[in-house]
Each structure stands twice: as structure tokens, then as C-alpha cells.
């Protein structure tokens, strides 16, 4: 029987974009499979561990079976946050206090870290290639993880064999704000956020088989949440509530074969709307110096790096003011920002031998449009907002 998309909101299980938070009794929570204490919600600025604002990871790793407990997921997120794309080091140092709930001391917390250490040094199963010609690799995520009770730190190094999935990423990767990862209360939510963000910039709807998603979250041959009703209630709906709290709305369509859920189609959109009262209008005209100053202030309020990007496009790459504003208007998230800055780096290299490049601005724009999945130009009437929220 062919798969058929179900109409959104036609059944209660299709209303995942607006779930209700239902409080569970402690005995109900502890009876659920894969129970672990919730993460402490910590602000990035309060961490003892020095981390970057954004974490990077290849889609191949994101879309692999990776079952993590809450403590393991937090170690993984903090370790990724320690990596810098412009450096070659795969080493990291994490403070115990940033991992265990409430930074508690004692044997129980240390026992949790030892258990996480053991699990995280086991192989990650990665499958490559198309159906019928797949290659299955078992690769340890970390080369070493060391626990030091004296300094209360974890020191470690990612496996160098995974370098291409962690550093100097050029394509098929996802960026996630570390603060978002640290705000989530469970490993399920963190892993699901990575997965959905890895599909976010696609221009097509791609069904994700239910069994595949369950395998990515809980590992191969896992029996956890095989029942769709339980998976939807205890994994999807709580996660979608948390996504909405940080500015991401998720809509879900269900594809069924008979009465069985076969696949899911997710659509993830930002609920952080640009300032419609902005004094800077997005029409194709050059802004005055006063308007440029105001516009740069608006960009800085969205993301601190955007004013510098706007200036570089105008001054270094010779774009007209409205063209630079148009590019920045298409930078809607950190993935798009990374793609644009990588394109500018490639343009810089190409300009070294620029005999066949007649217009720096035209070439730059063509390269940026080539890497962004969707590129919306400014309109003469100014119907498109000139400020986007990454």
C-alpha cells in the first residue's frame, strides 16, 4: 500500500506544533524507559568551561545512531563548543560543575561521569553510501577522555579520524547555538534539535522514516519507544515545547501505511520576527549615513557579527549598500552565516588570480547565492524585511 500524507491537525497526534505541557508525577517519569535526571539549565556566560558561541557538526554524524544519556549529551555538547573551526586542535577541557546537575559533588556524580566516560568511548556506527552499496564504519567518538578528581575537570580529544566531521567543514554540516543546547532539559531534546536543524535549510520536504529517527535517537536495535503513541507523547511533544521556548516552531506531518506510522515530515521555522517598526526600509536604494548607523545597531541586536559582515560586503567586496543589506537579510540563522563567510573566504582565494573576474561584486553575489538554499532579493516596493533574525 502506498504511503499517504495525513492532513495536519486531522488527528490529535498531528498537532505536534502546539503541544500542551502535561505535568507527570515523579513515579510516572521514573517508570519511563531511558529515564535520567534533567539537565540543569545554565547560561553560557556562567560556565566555567571556555566555549564558543556556536557548535559545528557534520550531518553524517548527526544522522547516525547515537544514544546518549543526559550527562553524555552535555559532555558532547560542551566538547563541541570547545572546538574552533579555524584551529586544528581536537582537544578540550570541561569542568565537572558544568556537567552534573546543580554541579553537585560526591560519589554519585562522579559515578555518573565514569559511566558517561565508558559509553562515550565506545564506537559510533556510521553508514555511508546509497542503498545496496553501503559502508558501515565503527569509529570511536573520542580518542581519550580523562577524569581528574583533583582539578574536577574532564580533558579529552576527539578521534582524529573524525576531523573531517568536526573542523574546517565545507558542506553538509549544521551549526547550532550552544546556548540552545545547554538550555534543553533532556538528551532526547538535544539530539532531536540537531537532527531537525540538519534539515532546516533544505528547500524540499523529505520524509524521515519513524524507525530511522528512533534509531538515531536511541541506537541500533533499540526497543525504546517502539510504540508511536509513547514516542510522540514522551519524546516529540516535550521537545517541541522546548524548541518553541527558544524561538523555533516545529510543524509535523505524518505518513501512514494503514494504521502504522511510517514516516514524519518536519518543518522548522523561527518565531523570532524582525522588527517591523524599523526605520530602515528594505527597498533598493542606498541608505543615508544616519540610516546605515541605525541599521548596524539593529543588526548588532540580532547577532554581534552581522554589522561586520555588512561592512565587509560593502567595503571589501564592493557590493552596493542595498546589495549588502540584501545578503544580510538572507542570513537567517548561524548555518546561513557560516555558509556566507565560507563563500567570502573562497572569493578571497579566487581573487588572487582574478584575471577572468570582471566584477568583484557580481562574482561575490553569485558565489553567495550558490551556497544559500533560498535567496530572496529585495523588492522595489520594500515588501521584504531587511533585517533577519539568525
The structural domain count of the chain equals: 3
Radius of gyration of the chain (CA): 23
Domain limit, last residue, from 242, 271, 300: 271
**Domain boundary, last residue among 271, 306, 333:** 271
Q: Which three cell numbers stand for residue 272?
A: 523570532
Q: Are residues 169 and 206 in the same domain?
A: no
CATH number at residue 213: 1.10.10.10
Does 14 share its domain with 100?
no
pLDDT value at residue 58: 92
Whether 357 and 240 share a structural domain = no
Both 78 and 99 in one domain: the answer is yes
For the chain, residues with pLDDT lower than 70 are 1-45, 101-106, 128-132, 134, 170, 201-203, 272-284, 354, 379-390
Cα 363 off chain centre by: 29
Are residues 290 and 318 both part of a single domain? Answer: yes
Long-range contacts of residues 114-121, Cβ cutoff 8 Å, at least 24 apart: 114/147, 115/69, 115/71, 116/69, 116/71, 116/72, 116/75, 117/145, 117/147, 117/154, 119/68, 119/69, 119/72, 120/72, 120/75, 120/76, 120/145, 121/145
**Cα angle vertex 181, ends 338, 68, to 5°?**
115
pLDDT given at position 147: 94
> 103 and 23 share a domain?
no
Q: Are residues 129 and 106 in the same domain?
A: yes
Question: pLDDT value at position 257?
Answer: 93
- H or E stretch covering 362: helix 360-371
pTM score > 0.75 for this model?
no
Residues 295 and 246 grouped into a single domain:
no
Question: In angstroms, rounded to a whole number, what is the distance separating the alpha carbons of residues 232 and 14?
Answer: 10
Pull the grid cell for residue 100: 552534573
Say what the pLDDT of residue 247 is: 85
- DSSP, res 46: G
Host domain of residue 295: 272-390
Could you tell me which of 58, 256, 276 has the C-alpha nearest to residue 162? 58
Amino acid at each position: 500500500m502506498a504511503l499517504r500524507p495525513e492532513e495536519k491537525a486531522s488527528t490529535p497526534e498531528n498537532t505536534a506544533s502546539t503541544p500542551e505541557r502535561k505535568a507527570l508525577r515523579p513515579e510516572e517519569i521514573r517508570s519511563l524507559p531511558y529515564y535520567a535526571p534533567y539537565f540543569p539549565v545554565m547560561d553560557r556566560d556562567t560556565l566555567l568551561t571556555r566555549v564558543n558561541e556556536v557548535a559545528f557538526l557534520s550531518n553524517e554524524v548527526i544522522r547516525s545512531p547515537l544514544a546518549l544519556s543526559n550527562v553524555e549529551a552535555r559532555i558532547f555538547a560542551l566538547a563541541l563548543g570547545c572546538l574552533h573551526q579555524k584551529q586544528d586542535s581536537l582537544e578540550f577541557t570541561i569542568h565537572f560543575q558544568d556537567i552534573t546537575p546543580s554541579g553537585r559533588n560526591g560519589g554519585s556524580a562522579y559515578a555518573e561521569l565514569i559511566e558517561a566516560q565508558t559509553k562515550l568511548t565506545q564506537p559510533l556506527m556510521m553508514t555511508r553510501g546509497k542503498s545496496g552499496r553501503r559502508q558501515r564504519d565503527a569509529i570511536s567518538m573520542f580518542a581519550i577522555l580523562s577524569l581528574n578528581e583533583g582539578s574536577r575537570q574532564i580533558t579529552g580529544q576527539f578521534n582524529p579520524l573524525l576531523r573531517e566531521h568536526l573542523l574546517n567543514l565545507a558542506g553538509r554540516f549544521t551549526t547550532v547555538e550552544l546556548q540552545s543546547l545547554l538550555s534543553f532539559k533532556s538528551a532526547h531534546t538535544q539530539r532531536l534539535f540537531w537532527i531537525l536543524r540538519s534539515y532546516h535549510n533544505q528547500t524540499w520536504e523529505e520524509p524521515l522514516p519513524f524507525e530511522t529517527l528512533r534509531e538515531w535517537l536511541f541506537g541500533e536495535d533499540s526497543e525504546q519507544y517502539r510504540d508511536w503513541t509513547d514516542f510522540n507523547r514522551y519524546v516529540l511533544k516535550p521537545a517541541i515545547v522546548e524548541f518553541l521556548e527558544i524561538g523555533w516552531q516545529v510543524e509535523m506531518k505524518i505518513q501512514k501505511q494503514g494504521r502504522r506510522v511510517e514516516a514524519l515530515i518536519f518543518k522548522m521555522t523561527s518565531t523570532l520576527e524582525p522588527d517591523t517598526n524599523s526605520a530602515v526600509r528594505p527597498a533598493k536604494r542606498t541608505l543615508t549615513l544616519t540610516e546605515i548607523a541605525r541599521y548596524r545597531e539593529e543588526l548588532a541586536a540580532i547577532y554581534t557579527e552581522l554589522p561586520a559582515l555588512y561592512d565587509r560586503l560593502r567595503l571589501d567586496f564592493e557590493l552596493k549598500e542595498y546589495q549588502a543589506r540584501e545578503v544580510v537579510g538572507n542570513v537567517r540563522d548561524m548555518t546561513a552565516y557560516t555558509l556566507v563567510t565560507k563563500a567570502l573566504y573562497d572569493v578571497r582565494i579566487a581573487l588572487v588570480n582574478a584575471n577572468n573576474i570582471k566584477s568583484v561584486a557580481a562574482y561575490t553575489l553569485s558565489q553567495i547565492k550558490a551556497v544559500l538554499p533560498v535567496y530572496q532579493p529585495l523588492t522595489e516596493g520594500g515588501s521584504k524585511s531587511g533585517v533577519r533574525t539568525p
